[in-house]
A and B are shown apart, each in its own frame.
Chain A
Amino acid sequence: MSFDVVIVGSGPAGLSAAARAAELGLEYVLLEATAAPANTIQRYQKGKHVMAEPTVVPLRSDLEFSAGTREAVLGAWQDGIVRLGVNVRYSAEVTAISGAAPNLELTLADGEALQAKAVILAIGLQGNPRKLGVPGENGDFVQYTLDDPDEYQGETIVIVGAGDAAIENAIALARSNSVIIINRRDEFARAKEGNLNLITRAIEDGSITCFYKTNVASVDASRSIVLNTETGQTRVNCDRIIARLGAIPPRGFVESCGIEFPSDDPTTLPELTGRYESNVPGLYVIGALGGYPLIKQAMNQGYEVAEFIAGNDILPADHSILEQKFRSLPFGNDVDGTLSLIRKRIPLFADINGLVLRELVLASEILTPRAGDVIFQQNDYTNSFITIIEGEVSIETDGGKSIRLERGQFFGEMSLLSGRRRSATVRASVDCVLLESPRREIIRLMNTYKRVRRIIDQFFIIRTLRAGLVPDLPFDKVAAVAAKTELKLFKAGDELFAEGDDGDGLHLIRSGSVSVTRNIGGRDIVTTYVAAGNYVGEMALLGQAKRSATVRATVATESIFLGADVFQQLLLSQTGLRERVQDTMKDRLSENLRMEAAPDAGDLISFLMQQGLGEATDVLLIDESLCVGCDNCEKACAETHGGTSRLDRSAGPTYAEIHVPTSCRHCEDPHCMKDCPPDAIRRASNGEVFIEDSCIGCGNCERNCPYGVIQMAGEKERAPNLISWIMTGRGAAPGQRKPVDASGAMKKAVKCDMCMDLKGGPACVRACPTGAALRMSPAEFVNLTKKAS
């Protein structure tokens, strides 16, 4: 069979493309591997509220879509499919795509071949579930998903897998079934801690049987599974097999179609033209696979790509937004013209793809500061990246000198890479036009384009060297030194170097932090904590040849390593450097003496570092010698944040009367920010990491936070008037408000925002009647060692 266009995948992007193709009268078919449209959204929990971000972008589709419950969204699409007579083929899995326009060929799982002039790939990023890979893997009692565990009662169920999904299924099914779990290894190493505890307990108390170090040999149609255990083969009879082996990322399939990716990084997106066409002519990529994870964007692209294929040259839905953005600029009204001007003027962006640049500019702000305006202040916590389209800025360094940057150059990479505060104030020297891009977009760009990464890394090193060690050395000489440095990566707990090693060089901490430990009287004592932006290892280079202490990464850390020979050259060429380094060394030595006199203080600091506080910027601690357990901190948090407390006072570990409650520590490089589809997690200039209203409630941040401080919460009832509550007791007591929506469908992520909207600062600390609640940065931890008075 031959079509104008074949659309693969019936998610929001594919459905919208098919609907448009139907309206345009194209010969088309929409292929869906499963039995229903929009598989990802089908698998949301019942009643889940689906958001329609970004609100600024208008919807452009023949199908309807607005924020609402999962059922309403799916219902509207189903109606649209019927109304427009969309030609969908379900259970039609595509196994291969070959050729190029106008002779593309698709092979289906059942062997059928389809011909098409164009193919739209809209398969998302979820991938297909990994199968058992043994004979019988497609048996009718073998399944790869589990929607509702309560559907099964009294069955014997074999679960294959050791990840979180397998464990969660096993625990849920074990309530009313007999469950056997098959683990390839001898432990559940990949699972989250909570799940690990649950499964270990269930296995211990016999409610779940586990086969460790066991593989599946085959599946028998007579409802049994053959296992290769350590002691030989065994057969287990069962009613059902559920394999939860993760998903095969779609990239392999996409590459097999001939589509190229610019780098091996898993976050890289395929190269696309402004019309979503890949390097294979006639093969188009839209939706999450093309880097657009939000439903509305995907639907708009589906509409647009069908128009492009039909030969209509329409403007993208975001055209008007760009027009609006560029309106105040002195470059004329032509959007494409302005985009190519940006590319021409900024060498960093010279090679990047048109669609990526467009997306970058869309996500960025255009700033037009007047001469003398401050762009950002030293010690601000912002982490955006700024390029100069027009004008000139000056960076005001600590030494009172200023560095001039002109058109085409960039700044802001220091905070971007280290997660630390701004290291200098930047001011516009003349009227400027600047492009301020969010950190996430630049990180994505760096992962995709090696050249962009190389240039930004190089400038980071040059500017760090000039800021900390050699402010007077001319640029080209610093660049020569920078070329001889090495970027080193350390995992939490790794040694940068050990006490007694030969001093082979100096580490400038680029991101993360390190602790310095010395062995005194047979005992390891933490003597100091060094944050990003500082250096370690100078002592061994100034005379003492051996390392006098062990330096360990407290969290994932990057350092710029200067070899001893390079450093000695620098000492000769830069006057005053030796004295500056000696001053730092003197401070370190006196700090060492202080900490050695109070070895317990070192233990407290290493306890705090073990809690991951090395990557914190501002953490809530509780002095248990003052805490009376009144929970006024939690009540204050709840009552200043719509009724939900973002901290759990009693949870968390304690050492030497210092308690670390479950509460956000506003990490330097926040884990929660890593995968937020609407980019709703931001960092304010004072360092607060907060979640904006555009949160779509996906729960990624909750899963990504290693400290469990983010929760999904719905709206709570209104608080009664305080005086009338005190007098009559009617209404909810502080901190006791009930959810408005009992089903809990519409939940958004909530976390500590350090009360950035309150004039007085964090309510938890201000509401503590005894002064037990403290907020501080890791650099202040040494103060804790002085006892309460």
Chain B
Amino acid sequence: MHESILAYRKRRYLWIALGVSLLAIVAYLFDDPQEPSNGGTVLGYTLGTTGVLLILWLTWFGVRKRRYSSTRGTVQGWLSAHVYLGVALLVVVVLHAGFQFGMNVHTVAFALMVLVIASGLWGVFIYMRYPERASANRDGSSRPELMDQLEDLDRRAQRVAGELSEEFQELVESGVSRTQLGSTLWTRLRGRDLSQIILRQGGKTTVMANPGQEAALDWLANEQSRAVDADSLAKIGELSALIRNKRQLLRQIAEDLRLQATMEIWLYFHVPLTAAMLMALIAHIVTVFLYW
């Protein structure tokens, strides 16, 4: 209970992965083939077969993760093993190749495998670091709660604007309807604020970018400086305070979206790369047997 995938069950799968790697290294060191070490020797075939089996099993994780009523271990255990044995695969395959690389289909398969493993390690790093950051950023609120708070601020701003002139109402209305954070994974990842606002200046209306509510706050500051009666001055001040709160909240939400997207983005590499590697692997095996 309460342990990370790396620490899972006293690092059981780390020791298994180390065992597998060590076994491969020892076999490689003691092996004395009649030709230079490569995939075609007895050990080469053995390591190659081990590698393929490992790859198939590692890929099967995508299935096991979704077999929700399976009683074969827990998904956490599977992921822990997936991580450690995935790294051990690198050792097994390098020894299988006997450190021979070239400009050929075999090395393409190898290179893709390295990319898959690298993207996986990136994922491990993210999984170890980001949940805490995301939790700290949300600061005890849940995402739905943050959205509720945003809605609440908008409503209060609308109410205050309702007591001011039409320009203010237009400012708040457009600010509400045109607030836009991360519509795509990419904008979320970059934490970009694509919000806009409609401003009325000198009789004409302009649509302006409003990242961090800056345009709105600038416009309000301008109005505040020119207001004459105490009542509207107080109301503009109140409106400005609400929008400053909104700015803070938007930052928090954008950061939450960014962290969440970071926790997902690596999979957009890991999974397609796996598919590509499987294709290359088939090509590698077919070629080997064709030229046998």
Contacts and interface: CB of A to CB of B under 8 A. Distances in A.
Contacts of A205: 155, 158-159
Interface string A621-647: 001111111101001100110000000
Given A628-B127, A640-B69, A726-B62, A789 B260 contact: no
B260 A629 contact: yes
A774 B1 CA distance: 7
A521 interface: no
Given A639-B68, A652-B142, A770-B127, A624 B134 contact: yes
A460 B68 CA distance: 43
Contacts of B76: 768-771
Contacts of A25: none
Contacts of A625: 131-132, 135
Interface stretch (A59-67, A326-334, A564-572, A759-767): A759-767
Interface stretch (B3-11, B101-109, B177-185): B3-11
A167 to B, nearest CB: 18
A767 to B, nearest CB: 5
Interface residues of B, number: 43
13 contacts: A201-B152, A623-B2, A624-B135, A626-B4, A627-B135, A629-B131, A632-B75, A726-B66, A766-B74, A770-B76, A770-B79, A770-B127, A789-B2
B141 interface: yes
Given A206-B159, A632-B75, A654-B135, A771 B127 contact: no
Given A734-B66, A758-B69, A767-B68, A653 B2 contact: no
B79 A726 contact: no
Contacts of B141: 654
Given A657-B132, A659-B135, A722-B66, 5 more contacts: A626-B4, A628-B131, A726-B66, A763-B69, A767-B75
A624 B63 CA distance: 25
Contacts of A758: 69, 71
Interface in A593-649: 623-630, 632, 635-636, 639-640
A786 B134 CA distance: 20
A472 interface: no
Given A625-B135, A766-B75, A653 B140 contact: yes
A651 interface: yes
B7 to A, nearest CB: 5
B67 interface: yes
B70 interface: yes
B130 A771 contact: no
A205 B154 CA distance: 11
A657 B135 contact: yes
Interface string A191-213: 00000000001001110000000
A788 interface: yes
Contacts of A653: 140, 142
A776 B1 CA distance: 10
B203 interface: no
B68 A763 contact: yes
A723 interface: yes
Contact of B140 (A655, A763, A767, A772): A655
A737 to B, nearest CB: 13
A50 to B, nearest CB: 33
B4 A788 contact: yes
Interface string B48-74: 000000000000001101111111001
Nearest to A772: B131
B43 interface: no
Contact of B131 (A726, A770, A786): A770
Give the contact-size bracket for chain A: 35 or more
B85 interface: no
Q: Ordered nearest first, which 5 A-B pairs have the shortest CB separation?
A: A624-B135, A760-B71, A636-B68, A771-B76, A639-B68
Contacts of A635: 66, 68
Nearest to B136: A657
B284 interface: no
Given A204-B159, A783-B1, A654 B140 contact: yes
Residue among B4, B126, B135, B162 with most chain A CB within 10 A: B135
A632 to B, nearest CB: 7
Contacts of A639: 66, 68-69
A657 B134 CA distance: 10
Contact of B68 (A629, A640, A659): A640
Interface string B1-42: 111110110000000000000000000000000000000000
Contacts of B247: none
B161 to A, nearest CB: 11
B202 interface: no
B270 interface: no
Residue among B76, B78, B144, B158 with most chain A CB within 10 A: B76
Contacts of A651: 142, 144
A378 interface: no
A767 B1 contact: no
Contacts of B253: none
B95 to A, nearest CB: 30
B3 A726 contact: no
B67 to A, nearest CB: 7
A490 B116 CA distance: 60
A627 B159 CA distance: 38
A760 B70 contact: yes
B263 interface: yes
B8 A771 contact: yes
B75 A769 contact: yes
Nearest to B123: A628
Nearest to A661: B142
B42 to A, nearest CB: 34
B200 interface: no
B138 interface: yes
A767 B65 contact: yes
Given A769-B76, A771-B3, A650 B144 contact: yes
Contacts of A767: 65, 68, 74-75
Nearest to B73: A766
A789 B7 contact: yes
A206 B132 CA distance: 41
A759 B71 contact: yes
A655 B138 CA distance: 11
A768 B180 CA distance: 32
A771 B2 contact: yes
Contacts of B62: 726
